[in-house]
Chain A
Amino acid sequence: MSLRILTENIDIPELTSFEVYRKLGGYRSVEKSLKTMSPSGVMEEVKKSTLRGRGGAGFPTGMKWSFLARGIGKPHYLICNADESEPGTFKDRYLMERNPHLLIDGMITSAFALEANTAYIYVRGELFRVLRILEKAIGEAYANGFLGKNILGSGYSLDIFCHPGAGAYICGEETALIESVEGKRGNPRIKPPFPAIAGLWDCPTVVNNVETLASVPWIINNGGEEYAKIGVWKSTGTKLMSACGHISKPGVYEVKMGLPVEEFIYSEEYCGGIRKGNKLKAVIAGGSSVPILPADLILKTAAGEPRLITYESLSEGGFETGTMLGSGGFIVMDNTTCIVKNLWNFTRFYRHESCGQCSPCREGTGWMEKVLYGIENGEGKMPDIDLLEDVAKNIEGHTICPLGDAAAWPVRSAIRHFRSEFEEHVKLKKCPF
């Protein structure tokens, strides 16, 4: 069995209850940090761990915390981003459903490091069950003195509130999320200023992903240096991968950073190979937003090196021949999959989820969706393929938030690697699948 940091006890029934979690050693990091460490000491450990944000961008967590504008006479806030809505990504939900106290444990320790006395969990609106589980767990933590005033007699106080979303993917973008918590329409803000300077109610705020915060207890219990020993180079620790699509065993797997992609797909411990013995066609490795790669390029880099599950290895070769680790939403497609149809479906998603603030994304996502629908349904023309690419190119980098890029990258990469499939749709005047 390989190392498990986040999912160690995940199969134990009743792990969601405070007693069971505590008996298994839970909340030790809260005791350790609040009683024996200073806020900056906790931050130093996280820095040493070189933990990187698991929400998609992979920004070093310790560094993000150090940007927090302290001592300007305003309260600080910690927000846990549990809006998980990226197609193909369902790891945060798994963690919160089965081990909610791990998140709360990590949040208390992190909020202490950030000297925040209020923290929020922004829960995706559709996750009713998760919301109930979290609220029960938070209640238990209060009842046992781990939340509220003067936690464990340390003098430190913290309140955690759950804030359910209302069904908008864009509210996962951290500044849209902040607007939403403030009770406004979830439109992303123009940055700068970044949330670390002026976030929630104009106060210094850190927004972190569920998995990021859930990694903190282990780091505090075992030390940042220990954590940094796991993994490869700048990708340390473990990563939750939510694997779906045409594999024998879809599910959430915790992998050590550095696991070869090939092993992840084919070994019995993880995905168990392609279903029905079919052939692997393509993989979207980090949630719907990251570039799609054909089988040969996901298994090996263009230079012939085995592709590993790390931030660096997956992006090796840039967007020409590489992709991104993103959120770890690992979507596998076998040779029965129509790339055009899949892309149309994703583009329809981005069109539906664009907040509509900035013109390239608002209008461009709709345009791309219509062109793709035409190609998939036999109404496409050859110049449509270049048009599609051009529209995507002109959204990319020209928008307020990265949703524009997230809509453009799948289109550009699908055309880059599977152009002939688009052409076939046009020639046949129908979908060949």
Chain B
Amino acid sequence: MSLLKVTIDNLDVEVEPGTTILNAARKIGGRVVPPAMCYYSGLKGTGGKCRTCLVKVSKSSATDPRPMPKLVPSCSTIVQDGMIVQNITSPEVLEARKHIVEILLINHPLDCPICDQAGECDLQNLSYKHGLADTRYEFERRTFEKIDIGRFIQLHMTRCILCYRCVYLADQLTDKRVHGVLFRGDNSEISTFIENVVENDFSGNVIDVCPVGALTDKTFRFKSRVWFTKPYDAHRNCEKCEGKAVLWMSGTDVLRVTGRKNEFGEVEDFICNECRFEKKNTDDWILEGPRNISHSSVISQNLYELINEPPKEPPFNKKD
């Protein structure tokens, strides 16, 4: 099938039919990629919920030059040939995104100093890049008790942004779903039915897909800040999964094991609970070498250089 031509922030890209705007932007890479807090490539049905990836379609397609009337979620909107999309070149998009970030934070505890996710949290990064310095919210924030789900995982619902990734993961990866959303509106709550133990070989992946510190690894809790650990790519022969992981080391101690996240923060090969929680010895693994964390996070110190860099002008001024 022939490729479709799409223009995003004045940059052209050719993609297969059926590609979403977000994935087309990811093909271009760099700053034109909209932030995505709920979409997860490996999980069918995710996306459309957080609204951080909203973009403006200023031309629907080569045959239909009309703009789309509303901003659209780039993660769940399929491209058409000749489509023109604006992300960071649209003040309307940037303004809307600022408010989405503000809204995501009004009920967030902002307890980063005591949160294990700090330093590799998508919400921290999002607020840093797209948010406002202040909040206008003056009310009490929603809080919940912490819940242990299984031996290895803790749910701290207070930090949850209700992206539903863990729900889809539980649905698609594990064979018996005991995990879902209770109640509705701002009373919604991620829960196991009800506080059931999640004992499944792949349940630990909910930790990796969670964009915030709502689902954390109890075997790692409070052991170290992530930026004091050194990530290594490693693999082992595993009967249950591919056995491809990242070991987060301090000296020769394996403090934590996770899946390998790509530059968009997504794990491509989910790992099993045995690899994640029970193989905490270097002897268990074949080390491949230090891992480059390309995803924006304090672990990858490039982030700070990038932020201080003056915005690149050429694509902004280019006329189409």
A interface vs B, CB < 8 Å? 168, 170, 185, 190, 351-360, 362-367, 370, 387, 390, 394, 397-400
Given contacts A363-B106, A367-B106, contact A394 B188 (CB under 8 A): no
Given contacts A394-B96, A398-B54, A398-B100, contact A366 B49 (CB under 8 A): no
A-B contact pairs, 18 of them (CB 8 A): A356-B162, A356-B184, A356-B187, A357-B164, A358-B48, A359-B51, A359-B100, A360-B99, A360-B100, A360-B103, A363-B104, A363-B106, A366-B107, A366-B186, A370-B139, A394-B103, A397-B70, A398-B96
Q: How far is the CA of A57 from the CA of B48 in the complex (A)?
A: 23
Q: How far is the CA of A130 from the CA of B140 in the complex (A)?
A: 42
Q: How far is the CA of A363 from the CA of B48 in the complex (A)?
A: 16
Residues of B42-60 whose CB lies within 8 A of A: 47-51, 54
| Complex: chain A residue closest to B188, CB-CB | A356
Q: How far is the CB of B76 from chain A (nearest CB, A)?
A: 5
Contact-size category for B: 20 to 34
Whether A362 contacts B185 by the Cβ 8 Å rule is yes
Whether B184 contacts A367 by the Cβ 8 Å rule is no
Which A residues are CB-close (under 8 A) to B193? Answer: none
Q: How far is the CA of A355 from the CA of B187 in the complex (A)?
A: 9
A-side interface mostly: helix
Q: How far is the CA of A364 from the CA of B73 in the complex (A)?
A: 18
Which A residues are CB-close (under 8 A) to B54? Answer: 398
The residue in A360, A365, A397 that gathers the most chain B C-beta atoms within 10 A of its C-beta is A360
B316 at the interface (CB under 8 A from A): no
Whether A400 contacts B48 by the Cβ 8 Å rule is yes
Q: How far is the CB of A204 from chain B (nearest CB, A)?
A: 20
Whether B104 contacts A354 by the Cβ 8 Å rule is no
Whether A362 contacts B99 by the Cβ 8 Å rule is no
| Complex: chain B residue closest to A351, CB-CB | B185
Q: How far is the CB of B97 from chain A (nearest CB, A)?
A: 10
Q: How far is the CB of A168 from chain B (nearest CB, A)?
A: 7
Q: How far is the CA of A359 from the CA of B107 in the complex (A)?
A: 11
Which A residues are CB-close (under 8 A) to B164? Answer: 357
Whether B188 contacts A362 by the Cβ 8 Å rule is yes
Given contacts A190-B76, A398-B54, contact A357 B103 (CB under 8 A): no
Whether A363 contacts B50 by the Cβ 8 Å rule is no
Q: How far is the CA of A363 from the CA of B49 in the complex (A)?
A: 12
Q: How far is the CB of A388 from chain B (nearest CB, A)?
A: 10
Q: How far is the CB of A264 from chain B (nearest CB, A)?
A: 32
Whether A359 contacts B48 by the Cβ 8 Å rule is no
The residue in A359, A390, A397, A399 that gathers the most chain B C-beta atoms within 10 A of its C-beta is A359
Given contacts A190-B48, A357-B164, A358-B50, contact A363 B186 (CB under 8 A): yes
| Complex: chain B residue closest to A355, CB-CB | B184
Q: How far is the CB of A99 from chain B (nearest CB, A)?
A: 33
B247 at the interface (CB under 8 A from A): no
Q: Which of B51, B136, B139, B162 contacts A360 (CB 8 A)?
A: B51
Given contacts A185-B181, A360-B100, A363-B107, contact A398 B51 (CB under 8 A): yes
Whether B136 contacts A387 by the Cβ 8 Å rule is yes
| Complex: chain B residue closest to A185, CB-CB | B181
B33 at the interface (CB under 8 A from A): no
Residues of B238-260 whose CB lies within 8 A of A: none
- Residue pairs across A and B with CB atoms within 8 Å: the count is 82
Whether B184 contacts A168 by the Cβ 8 Å rule is yes
Whether B185 contacts A355 by the Cβ 8 Å rule is yes
Which A residues are CB-close (under 8 A) to B180? Answer: 185
Which B residues are CB-close (under 8 A) to A358? Answer: 48-51
Q: How far is the CA of A9 from the CA of B47 in the complex (A)?
A: 50
Q: Which of B50, B73, B107, B137 contacts A190 (CB 8 A)?
A: B73
Q: How far is the CB of A85 from chain B (nearest CB, A)?
A: 14
| Complex: chain A residue closest to B187, CB-CB | A356
Which B residues are CB-close (under 8 A) to A399? Answer: 51
Given contacts A387-B136, A394-B103, A398-B96, contact A356 B186 (CB under 8 A): yes
The residue in B48, B161, B164 that gathers the most chain A C-beta atoms within 10 A of its C-beta is B48
Which B residues are CB-close (under 8 A) to A387? Answer: 136
Q: How far is the CB of A367 from chain B (nearest CB, A)?
A: 6
Q: How far is the CA of A400 from the CA of B96 in the complex (A)?
A: 15
B303 at the interface (CB under 8 A from A): no
B71 at the interface (CB under 8 A from A): yes
Whether B51 contacts A356 by the Cβ 8 Å rule is no
Which B residues are CB-close (under 8 A) to A363? Answer: 103-104, 106-107, 186
Q: Which of A359, A362, A367, A390 contacts B137 (CB 8 A)?
A: A367
Q: Contacts A362-B188, A394-B103 known; list 17 others, CB within 8 Å.
A: A353-B185, A357-B164, A358-B48, A358-B49, A358-B51, A359-B104, A360-B99, A363-B103, A365-B185, A365-B186, A366-B185, A367-B139, A394-B96, A397-B70, A397-B71, A398-B54, A398-B71
Q: How far is the CA of A352 from the CA of B106 in the complex (A)?
A: 18
Q: How far is the CA of A168 from the CA of B136 in the complex (A)?
A: 30
Residues of B9-54 whose CB lies within 8 A of A: 47-51, 54
Given contacts A359-B49, A359-B51, A398-B71, contact A352 B99 (CB under 8 A): no
The residue in A353, A364, A398 that gathers the most chain B C-beta atoms within 10 A of its C-beta is A398
Residues of B89-106 whose CB lies within 8 A of A: 96, 99-100, 103-104, 106
Q: How far is the CB of A269 from chain B (nearest CB, A)?
A: 40
- Give the 9 A-B residue pairs with the shortest CB-CB distance, closest first: A356-B188, A354-B185, A394-B99, A366-B186, A190-B48, A363-B103, A397-B70, A356-B185, A356-B184
Which A residues are CB-close (under 8 A) to B187? Answer: 356
Which B residues are CB-close (under 8 A) to A360? Answer: 51, 99-100, 103
Q: How far is the CA of A397 from the CA of B186 in the complex (A)?
A: 19
Q: How far is the CB of A138 from chain B (nearest CB, A)?
A: 30
| Complex: chain B residue closest to A369, CB-CB | B186
Q: How far is the CB of A321 from chain B (nearest CB, A)?
A: 21
Q: How far is the CA of A367 from the CA of B184 in the complex (A)?
A: 15
Q: Which of A354, A370, A390, A400 contacts B184 (CB 8 A)?
A: A354
Q: How far is the CA of A283 from the CA of B55 in the complex (A)?
A: 36
| Complex: chain B residue closest to A189, CB-CB | B48
Q: How far is the CA of A365 from the CA of B139 in the complex (A)?
A: 14
Whether B186 contacts A357 by the Cβ 8 Å rule is no
Q: How far is the CB of B144 from chain A (nearest CB, A)?
A: 14
Q: How far is the CA of A353 from the CA of B184 in the complex (A)?
A: 7
Q: How far is the CA of A170 from the CA of B99 in the complex (A)?
A: 24
Whether B103 contacts A364 by the Cβ 8 Å rule is yes
Q: How far is the CA of A366 from the CA of B187 in the complex (A)?
A: 10
| Complex: chain A residue closest to B104, CB-CB | A359
| Complex: chain B residue closest to A383, CB-CB | B136
Q: How far is the CB of B70 from chain A (nearest CB, A)?
A: 5
Whether B103 contacts A359 by the Cβ 8 Å rule is yes
The residue in A185, A355, A390, A394 that gathers the most chain B C-beta atoms within 10 A of its C-beta is A394
| Complex: chain A residue closest to B101, CB-CB | A359
| Complex: chain B residue closest to A190, CB-CB | B48
